[in-house]
Amino acid sequence: MTQLEQQIAPVETAPAQGNKILRVLREETNNVHPRLLFAQMICALLPVHTGYRVRAAALRMVGFQIGRGTMFYDLPAISGSDELHNHLVIGKACRFNLRTSLELGARITIGDNVGVGAETMFLTTSHEFGPAERRCGPQRKGPITIGNGVWIGVRSTILPGVTIGDGAVVAAGSLVNRDVAANTLVAGVPAKQLKELA
């Protein structure tokens, strides 16, 4: 390489490096949502078990569809890409206990009068099995639908693509990986139907 080529080479690669930096910055900040940050700042001043309706109002104010009378004992952990507020619909008079996680890779729809126990996770994104060198394969997404009057026990996990019918009960610690019929009690890992409810 001549002396002139050595002087020109860094100039030619500078735009490529700049593009790489911009791409990495976009990737690293993809899940920063200004609307959600604003609601989090408002709610950060509230101790847990106070201001239940204020948290719902703050989320409503930044665009989330949340029915009247719904309460959050603390602000749920909300994550995902795109416009999060378009991926969550919660009905009226629902109650969410502490440390609920709502992963909004796909839409989560929750009906009216739903009770959600502490540390429950709603996960709309998972992965297919990959080859041996990388088992965590291509991403897949599926919406979650929770019917009216459902009670989800503490530390339950609801996986992508699941629909839980009206009036169903999910026992504490259950892993729900398939649809749950209306007015049934399910429990276990994975959750299985234990009985029909009146």
Catalytic residues: 127
Beta pairing, strands 88-90 & 144-146: unpaired
Q: Within its chain, how far is the Cα of 99 from the centroid?
A: 12
Q: Name the phi and psi angles at 163, rounded to 5.
A: -120, 130
The angle that helices 34-43 and 52-61 make with each other, rounded to 10 degrees, is 160
Q: Which residues share a beta bridge with 125? A: 141
Q: For tokens 């911009």, what's the residue?
A: 22
CA distance 64 to 62: 6
